Amino acid sequence: MSKPMTKTQLIATLADEMGSDKKSAGAALDAICNIITKEVSVGGAVTLPGIGKISCRARPERMVRNPATGEQFKKEADKVVKMTIAKALKDSVNG
């Protein structure tokens, strides 16, 4: 398996795809990240066409176990970020 693409590599590739310079590609990537962060942090969801949907999901209070000691304790309710992958992306990877 290959190494994951770094932010610098992603910006360079994005700049090539856009036919733009790296500075504006970096600004575009940062803007998209900020929009997704703001929307998901208030409980919304963002759909990236062809990639998937990023949303916030509430998890209820539950019992968890410390694997080192085996001790069980109650974990408070919290929220987690969830990404559902689009079928088109799944098919392109598996096809």
- Write out pLDDT tens, residues 27-83: 999 999 999 999 999 999 999 999 999 999 999 999 999 999 999 999 999 999 999
The count of residues in the chain is 95
Q: Tell me what pLDDT residue 2 has.
A: 83
Q: Tell me what pLDDT residue 87 has.
A: 94
What are the residues whose beta carbons fall under 8 Å from the beta carbon of 4, sequence distance 6 or more?
none
pTM of the model: 0.78
**45-95 under CATH 3.40.1110.10, yes or no:** no
Please check the confidence at residue 10 and state whether its pLDDT lies above 80: yes
Residue 11 CA, chain-centre distance (Å), reads 17
Structure tokens belonging to residue 31: 């803007």
Secondary structure, 3-state, 13-69: HHHHHHCCCHHHHHHHHHHHHHHHHHHHHCCCEEEECCCEEEEEEEECCEEEECCCC
Query: What does the buried/exposed string (b/e) look like for 38-52 if buried means 16 or more CB atoms within 10 Å of the residue's CB?
Result: eebeeeeebeeeeeb
Domain ranges of the chain: 1-42, 45-95
